[in-house]
Chain A
């Protein structure tokens, strides 16, 4: 039996009459973008804080940060997702748990997915930030302290500006990963890009067209991210240092 290619399938009205199949794809794309970007914000914020804490000369704080990283880094993303979506609402105090369950299904899936992806990625960002701080010459910290800056001031004005510059390339990888990892969230029913692609297969029996479209969409997202981050690298480049002019 020969496969019947039909690229026109995207322009057909959907089986449930809510626009075309192309509209489905765009709805999925939008969800993927909003989900990934909001999770990325969480990841950057928590990752930066935890990464810094891993390097401070305080056993308690660095211990807590290490535990955080190991927990989120060593449990599979899928397991974490199920935890946030299925388990945590049952464990929370009844008020909060019920408020979560009272939200519409899409909002529930979205919030769980965003928090899950955000924390999972934050552990990885934290490791990058830590490696950036540790890659600085030891004398930089001493120089800051010797001028009378406090330790927090030394981090803020001396160490972190350089550490973040050093880790722009590995952070780019994490940024790309978060879009790809977001596809895992289809497993709790969230209709993001990959899930819309699969749904389209179910309704139209045109799997090749559907998955080609999904693939192209992911590639396009990541090309944009790469170009953006390359721009960031150029903007933060330090003259006379690390490839700067």
Chain B
């Protein structure tokens, strides 16, 4: 589904990603973790072309992301993305947030888009809030709407960029629950997250990054039982203490 092949990226002299290679199979849930500044978010943004990269190649469902002739908008329409800060459109009701891209990108008619939007809003448990504006919802609710907005586009895979990092502790679980459910239904997912509990429960594979390199890429069992690199051992020791 997603193959990342020797991807490197630099801003001027600053190397952000070095020679990153991995893949996400259909139906697989891959968690990407690592210390801040390790390039996790940059890597996941390369997958749908929000960040350009200089070397290597990324293919999503056979389409090359970096190729100049690729229609990125068309590709992104079917690759769902959820952001750290939700990024709902504040001037639109929840309902309109869910409909906008369906109408403008997928050319669905308004009623169909509304119906589809409400179906997913119901699935994340927020049907009663359709008429509200994003600013009137809590962070956790906004993030669930953001997930519903991505799902309404019928994505072939979902990218999560630290979806719970900006949330109050109380709200993290409601978002993780939605993601867990999604994973159990067989959605292909690539998640940048520090939620190791979620990784243990849901992930198939864990990727550990440090200084722009993929240091570790293993099944979750192997990763948690016996991380090979010292850096990953340190990382796990620090965050699993709690």
Interface residues of chain A, those whose CB is within 8 Å of chain B, are 137, 139-140, 142-150, 153, 157-158, 161-162, 165, 238-241, 244
Q: Is B134 an interface residue (CB 8 A)?
A: yes
Which residue from chain A places its CB closest to the CB of B75 in the assembled complex? A148
* Interface residue total, chain B, C-beta cutoff 8 A: 34
Q: How far is the CB of A233 from chain B (nearest CB, A)?
A: 14
Q: Which residues of chain A are within 8 angstroms of B134 by Cβ–Cβ distance?
A: 240-241
Q: Which residues of chain B are within 8 angstroms of A150 by Cβ–Cβ distance?
A: 73
Q: Which residues of chain B are within 8 angstroms of A137 by Cβ–Cβ distance?
A: 85, 87
Q: Which residues of chain A are within 8 angstroms of B105 by Cβ–Cβ distance?
A: 147-149, 153
Known interface pairs A153-B104, A240-B134. Does A143 touch B83 (Cβ–Cβ under 8 Å)?
yes
Q: Which residues of chain B are within 8 angstroms of A239 by Cβ–Cβ distance?
A: 132-133, 135-136
Q: How far is the CB of A67 from chain B (nearest CB, A)?
A: 26
Q: Which of B72-107 contact A (CB under 8 A)?
A: 72-74, 76-81, 83-85, 87-91, 100-101, 104-106
CA distance A158 to B91 in the complex (A): 8
Q: How far is the CB of A88 from chain B (nearest CB, A)?
A: 41
Q: Which residues of chain A are within 8 angstroms of B88 by Cβ–Cβ distance?
A: 143
CA distance A238 to B92 in the complex (A): 8
Partner of A162, one of B81, B90, B153: B90
Partner of B85, one of A139, A147, A244: A139
- In the complex, the answer to whether A148 meets B90 with C-beta atoms within 8 Å is no
Partner of A147, one of B45, B136, B137, B153: B153
- In the complex, the answer to whether B91 meets A146 with C-beta atoms within 8 Å is no
A selection of 21 A-B contacts at a CB cut-off of 8 Å is: A139-B83, A139-B87, A142-B50, A143-B88, A145-B50, A145-B73, A146-B80, A147-B77, A147-B100, A147-B105, A148-B74, A148-B76, A148-B105, A158-B89, A162-B90, A162-B91, A240-B90, A240-B132, A240-B136, A241-B91, A244-B133
Q: How far is the CB of A30 from chain B (nearest CB, A)?
A: 37
| Contact flags B105-143 to A (C-beta < 8 A → 1, else 0) | 110000000000000000000000000111111000000
CA distance A158 to B105 in the complex (A): 14
Q: Is B164 an interface residue (CB 8 A)?
A: no
Interface residues of chain B, those whose CB is within 8 Å of chain A, are 45, 48, 50, 72-74, 76-81, 83-85, 87-91, 100-101, 104-106, 132-137, 149-150, 153
CA distance A146 to B45 in the complex (A): 9
Q: How far is the CB of A132 from chain B (nearest CB, A)?
A: 13
Sample of 20 further A-B pairs with CB below 8 A, known A148-B73, A149-B105, A153-B104: A137-B85, A139-B87, A140-B87, A142-B45, A143-B87, A146-B50, A146-B76, A146-B80, A148-B106, A149-B73, A149-B104, A153-B105, A157-B104, A238-B91, A239-B133, A239-B135, A240-B136, A241-B90, A241-B135, A244-B133
Which residue from chain B places its CB closest to the CB of A156 in the assembled complex? B104
Q: Which residues of chain A are within 8 angstroms of B133 by Cβ–Cβ distance?
A: 238-241, 244
Q: Which residues of chain B are within 8 angstroms of A153 by Cβ–Cβ distance?
A: 104-105
- In the complex, the answer to whether A157 meets B76 with C-beta atoms within 8 Å is no
Q: Which residues of chain B are within 8 angstroms of A162 by Cβ–Cβ distance?
A: 89-91
Q: How far is the CB of A23 from chain B (nearest CB, A)?
A: 47
- Taking each of A142, A148, A158, which has the highest tally of chain B beta carbons within 10 Å of its own beta carbon? A148
CA distance A139 to B166 in the complex (A): 13
- Taking each of A142, A161, A162, A244, which has the highest tally of chain B beta carbons within 10 Å of its own beta carbon? A142
- In the complex, the answer to whether B135 meets A148 with C-beta atoms within 8 Å is no
CA distance A149 to B97 in the complex (A): 13
- In the complex, the answer to whether B135 meets A238 with C-beta atoms within 8 Å is yes
CA distance A144 to B150 in the complex (A): 11
CA distance A150 to B74 in the complex (A): 9
Q: Which residues of chain A are within 8 angstroms of B78 by Cβ–Cβ distance?
A: 148
- In the complex, the answer to whether B89 meets A140 with C-beta atoms within 8 Å is yes
Which residue from chain B places its CB closest to the CB of A147 in the assembled complex? B101
Q: Which residues of chain B are within 8 angstroms of A139 by Cβ–Cβ distance?
A: 83-85, 87
CA distance A148 to B84 in the complex (A): 19
Q: Which residues of chain B are within 8 angstroms of A143 by Cβ–Cβ distance?
A: 81, 83, 87-89
CA distance A145 to B150 in the complex (A): 12
CA distance A137 to B149 in the complex (A): 19
Which residue from chain B places its CB closest to the CB of A162 in the assembled complex? B91
Q: How far is the CB of A156 from chain B (nearest CB, A)?
A: 9
CA distance A244 to B90 in the complex (A): 11
